[in-house]
Structure 1
Amino acid sequence: MLTKVLFPTFFDEKTKIWSGVERRPFYDYDCSMGLVVYNTMKNFPQNVLQIAHMDGRVVTFADSLAWATRLAMYFKSEKLTHEDVIGIIGKASTYVSSLAAACLFHTTPFHAVAYTYVKEPEVVKELYVLTKPKIIFCDGEDYEVIKQATLEWAPKIITLTGRLDGVPNIEDLLNPHPAERFYQPERLAVGGDQTAAIMCSSGTSGTAKAVALSHRVIAKTPQITNSTDVILTSATIDWVTGLTCTMMGFFFGAQHVIFNETFNAESFIHMTEKYKVTFYAMAPWQAFEVFTHPLATEESLASLRLVVIVGGWLSVAILKRAASLAKNCNIMFSYGATETNGIAINLDIEMGNSVGGVLPGNRIKIVDEEGNALGHNQTGEILIDNGVKWQGYIGNPVETAATLKDGWINLGDIGYFDENNYLYLTDRKKDVLKYKSKDYSPNEIEQIIAELPEIQNVCVVGVRNVGRTDAAGALVIKRKGTDITKEKIMEHVANRVVVEYKHLNAGVQFVDSLPQNTNGKILRNAARKIFEELMESN
């Protein structure tokens, strides 16, 4: 087992800046990540890159290299450059990772949008109008939605899955080419800060934004896997967690199990056993469902070596249960964002909801509302410098300027460092609510409610139609086979929190599910609307 602190964190008393150890770059500043992927796949052709749970299809590096090369040659024939964009929107399927590799080969950035947004065509249009892709790859079943959403500039649309009359399919572009064995990836036109991919921000507090990620950012993919690892995650390439897992396969040879069904703990555990999965990347609610499932046993989880939990909190009790089941496994929280990638990591489950120490190459400072730097155990806004030039939000200079100030990225998170230089998140600034002129953190109340054994998941929202203020209300999912009253939950919070403004003054509503993005993060704005609708109907 690893030590409790994976990397040391240092504090400069003069500047009041916390920093990780120096990160030595593995690749040249101006190296194309397409060249890195190309060389890895060419040197280890028999390595398995991907296993599709849907149909059992196994993809080797040799397979993916051939597909990516042919696609890159097609992009060249279409006269695409680094100034163009290729759209990707679809469920996990055989060719998606190779398509991403082809974009890196040709140094044409891809804009990946979550397939769940197909249900909201106006969001698809809002995101893609920012980049106007010349070509969009999508699932056949979503062709008409994508076509209508992009009528303004009418890109070429190619299906990833499913064939339609008169519409090209990706397999039509994969015929062998006599020159492919001599192919070489394109060089970067403007250096390592050139955009490689455009991802969706989480969208937990509003509309998702298009975040530009450079080749240098992708070069920071952490080497926490190797060619003996098998990755399982529900995150797809349109979120930074999914992109990171994909790059772990390309860079370090880890196998990736893909599936296109909705996350289900029982299926997840079955896949873990079947494919001898060693690595999970998952949201807290997914970790809860897996590690509390009856099928989660020492035997079924015996292959696990590392579980990375991103995007929220999980009770110490569940973390300890996970550790008791996966005995040869390290369980860690990771703090980061699409804009920054990983920033901090916690390997010590006894530290509760600390996100741990600062990762190499990163710096953090905590500031008050006037911008003054704070010291230990002083709560304020978290400012981040990840050592890489941030490209900002595509087509959104106002939000970019609001997020990037004097070289520091402000994600709107609130937190503090303790005397051991461990970082704690208390909430997002956008999520802090006010009731009777008093600020309170919904995250604090959620953790108190989660102490109850009957609770599976919870989201606390500020209900705006109760005296025109943000009275706390809890959307609660009960664990199967248990029962608990709204009154007991409200009483538990009142007993644990003395101050009245933190009580559940808007009450409790029971639901079967919480609104989440594809990466498993709860959409608090959508949750508030659900609460208010339920309250009005009761």
Structure 2
Amino acid sequence: MSYQPKTHYDAVDKIWSSEKEKSQFGEDLSIGEIIFQEMVRHPKSVAQVSDSEKTILLREDLLNNAIRIATFMRNLDLTQRDIVGIIARNTTHISAVAYACFFNGIALHSLNPAYLTEIIEKLFQNTKPRIIFCDGDEYEKVRAATAKLDVKIVTMRNHPKGAISIQEVLKTPAEEGFRPTSLKQGNTHPIAILSTSGTTGTPKAVVMTNHRSILSGFTNLSTADIQFGSSSLEWALGLLAVISAGVFSTKRIVTEKPFDPSEILRIIEEYQVSWLVQTPAQMAAIANCPAFEKANLQSLRSYFYTGGRCTREVQKKLGRKVGGGILHFGYGFSELGSFATLNWNFDAKPNSVGRPCPGYKIKIIDDQGDKLGPNEEGEVCINKGIFWPGYYGNPEATKEIYKDNWLHSGDLGYVDNDGFLYVVERKKDLLKYQSNKYYPNELEELISRMPGVAEVCAFGIWGVENGDEGAATVVRKPNVLISEKDVEDYVAQHAVTDFLRLHAGCLIVDDLKRSPNGKTNRAANKEYFLQAKGIQIIT
């Protein structure tokens, strides 16, 4: 179990805070310098195993590769003012690319390979990377998107003719006496630029810094741990996995293949994974996978999940399998670049995202901006105790959510008498049916308890007479036959209020619509529901 900070509640200021954690590394060291020294300390331990490519890298192999890539960047005269672009999956050498950036003090800007050309163009036109590392699968798309930029493109796999391959870069002679570069801006220097989910338009570029808070939730890792997570570098979880594996000298299992629950269960068992991090959607897929009941998950020591709501049914099913003491529900968002809270007390607080991580503060505010006390619901605001640079090249958007060092999450929640945070729903997702307020997750929690339901996404369909009428898309468990009427009847029979119903109906689907990071996309599911049902919204 990780270090658990004491939580303090200031009843006058109505702020919850936790004591700062003492770092085991020198405060003057950058993340790149820490990773460099730790790789030197453990040269013969296994750093990474690629399940899909069947490669194994010792720490000295990974270090030498990162030094060669960093030297290649230095030979191009890249400085700490430059940006390195990445659009790649978890292949063998992508970690070395990230470490090379950290060693040089150059921020990486990682995008999802599934992004459309116009989105890539807008995002990279903002940060203007000097070099981009991408999979050959996306080479032509990236080349078209960056036609207006002076940029080199290096391919990581499936190399097209004429492209610079990562193998060529790895032939670069290492700089003699290579050492990581000290950061001119200290721990406020950018380490990475990640993208928001983009569900409401073009994704925004979130700046993450070298501050130690980036390691929140990871300090329980040790050299004995075997890490696995499905996210690649364009998402915070993927980036944090690469960073923490380097800092704490763990063995990391990677795969370039798309998420598949049965394959994840095989990987956990085959490699004896001890440390796992997933999204709630991935948890639900695993819990409802036919191979789940027979899977051996005894190697797991820590099972983290974050990135959205997780139904009690899924948590209970996983808890029965691995033990509640292993499950840790966390809360964070792209702008934080780390966990803000973590629940180390699953058995006592099974649906809470936990207390503040070391050095973090929480306040809950109402619509007027006034602070609320324990058990009072309002918007969750987070203070990391450090300056956040904001959205790259977008000061207007930064000002909207960052005020007086507080990040306004847009999530509704409350803190109980013991200092545990509960996230209720996105503020904008609050629904109203005939003056009765409810949240989509109330329907989701109810429907998820129905035998035969694997996953569900609920939303409101607006009508002139009633307001937001409840609706849902539902995924059935394999070999289970339940109809849309069965779901509607179940809700009517088990809801505790008269208005919580599927007034707009239900749609059985093969899978939910998701954002590129694997999170359930409520807006996309609603749009699909409207198209399938032939419903037109009249405003």
Structure 1 length-normalised TM:
0.93
Aligned position for 2:138: 142
Aligned position for 1:343: 340
Provide, for residues 366-413 of structure 1, a one-character-per-residue CA deviation record: whole Å limited to 9, x for no partner: 011111111111100011001221111112222211110111001101
Provide, for residues 10-49 of structure 1, a one-character-per-residue CA deviation record: whole Å limited to 9, x for no partner: 2111110011222334445553211111111111111111
Q: Is the 8 A contact 1:466 1:506 kept in 2?
A: no
Q: Map of 1:274-293 to 2, 5 A cutoff?
A: 274-293=270-289
1:423 pairs with 2:421: yes
Post-superposition offset of 1:288: 2.2
Secondary structure at the counterpart of residue 114 of structure 2: helix
Q: Is the 8 A contact 2:189 2:209 kept in 1?
A: yes
Post-superposition offset of 1:162: 2.1
Aligned position for 2:196: 201
Q: Is the 8 A contact 1:203 1:523 kept in 2?
A: no
Which residue identity does 1:133 align to in structure 2? P
Which residue identity does 1:175 align to in structure 2? K
Q: Is the 8 A contact 1:476 1:508 kept in 2?
A: yes
Secondary structure at the counterpart of residue 252 of structure 2: strand
1:409 pairs with 2:404: no
Aligned position for 2:120: 124
Aligned position for 1:37: 35
Q: Is the 8 A contact 1:147 1:154 kept in 2?
A: no
Which residue identity does 2:237 align to in structure 1? T
Which residue identity does 2:278 align to in structure 1? M
In structure 2, relative to structure 1, the CA distance for the partners of 1:157 and 1:193 (3 Å cut) is same
Provide, for residues 227-275 of structure 1, a one-character-per-residue CA deviation record: whole Å limited to 9, x for no partner: 1111121111111111111112101111111111121111111111211
Q: Map of 1:16-27 to 2, 5 A cutoff?
A: 16-27=14-25
Which structure 2 segments of 5+ residues have no match?
none
Post-superposition offset of 1:435: 4.0
CA distance in 1, matches of 2:457, 2:293: 28
Q: For the aligned residues, what is the CA RMSD?
A: 2.3
Post-superposition offset of 1:479: 0.9
In structure 2, relative to structure 1, the CA distance for the partners of 1:204 and 1:481 (3 Å cut) is same
Q: Which moved more, 1:35-44 or 1:204-213?
A: 204-213
Q: Is the 8 A contact 1:192 1:216 kept in 2?
A: yes
In structure 2, relative to structure 1, the CA distance for the partners of 1:317 and 1:164 (3 Å cut) is closer
Q: Is the 8 A contact 2:104 2:181 kept in 1?
A: yes
Secondary structure at the counterpart of residue 133 of structure 2: strand
Q: Is the 8 A contact 1:302 1:328 kept in 2?
A: no
Q: Is the 8 A contact 2:415 2:421 kept in 1?
A: yes
Q: Is the 8 A contact 2:325 2:346 kept in 1?
A: no
Aligned position for 1:70: 68
Aligned position for 1:383: 381
1:395 pairs with 2:393: yes
Q: Is the 8 A contact 1:363 1:386 kept in 2?
A: yes
In structure 2, relative to structure 1, the CA distance for the partners of 1:318 and 1:526 (3 Å cut) is closer
CA distance in 2, matches of 1:299, 1:472: 36
Aligned position for 2:234: 238
Post-superposition offset of 1:465: 6.9
Q: Is the 8 A contact 1:282 1:308 kept in 2?
A: yes
Structure 2 length-normalised TM:
0.93
Which residue identity does 2:395 align to in structure 1? P
CA distance in 2, matches of 1:104, 1:455: 44
Aligned position for 2:181: 186
In structure 2, relative to structure 1, the CA distance for the partners of 1:175 and 1:454 (3 Å cut) is same
Aligned position for 1:449: 447
Which of 478, 487, 490 is the matching residue for 1:489? 487
Post-superposition offset of 1:328: 9.3
Aligned position for 2:472: 474
Which of 338, 351, 354 is the matching residue for 1:353? 351
In structure 2, relative to structure 1, the CA distance for the partners of 1:212 and 1:129 (3 Å cut) is same
Post-superposition offset of 1:335: 0.7
Post-superposition offset of 1:214: 0.6
Q: Which moved more, 1:480-489 or 1:104-113?
A: 480-489
Post-superposition offset of 1:330: 0.7
Q: Which moved more, 1:417-426 or 1:201-210?
A: 201-210
Aligned position for 1:161: 157
Q: Is the 8 A contact 2:386 2:405 kept in 1?
A: no
Q: Which moved more, 1:280-289 or 1:359-368?
A: 280-289
Tell me how many residue pairs correspond in the alignment.
533
Secondary structure at the counterpart of residue 355 of structure 1: coil
Q: Which moved more, 1:128-137 or 1:202-211?
A: 202-211
CA distance in 1, matches of 2:154, 2:400: 37
CA distance in 1, matches of 2:185, 2:281: 41
In structure 2, relative to structure 1, the CA distance for the partners of 1:166 and 1:345 (3 Å cut) is same
Q: Map of 1:74-93 to 2, 5 A cutoff?
A: 74-93=72-91
Aligned position for 1:13: 11
In structure 2, relative to structure 1, the CA distance for the partners of 1:65 and 1:142 (3 Å cut) is same
Aligned position for 1:325: 321
CA distance in 1, matches of 2:37, 2:455: 44
Post-superposition offset of 1:319: 2.6
Post-superposition offset of 1:204: 4.5
Provide, for residues 403-448 of structure 1, a one-character-per-residue CA deviation record: whole Å limited to 9, x for no partner: 1011100110100011222111111112223444554311222111
Which of 252, 256, 273 is the matching residue for 2:269? 273
CA distance in 1, matches of 2:193, 2:51: 27
Q: Is the 8 A contact 1:362 1:387 kept in 2?
A: yes
CA distance in 1, matches of 2:174, 2:358: 44
In structure 2, relative to structure 1, the CA distance for the partners of 1:278 and 1:178 (3 Å cut) is closer
Q: Is the 8 A contact 2:50 2:255 kept in 1?
A: yes
CA distance in 1, matches of 2:148, 2:468: 40
Post-superposition offset of 1:171: 1.3
Which residue identity does 1:343 align to in structure 2? A
What percent identity do the matched residue pairs reach?
31
Post-superposition offset of 1:464: 4.6
Post-superposition offset of 1:283: 1.2
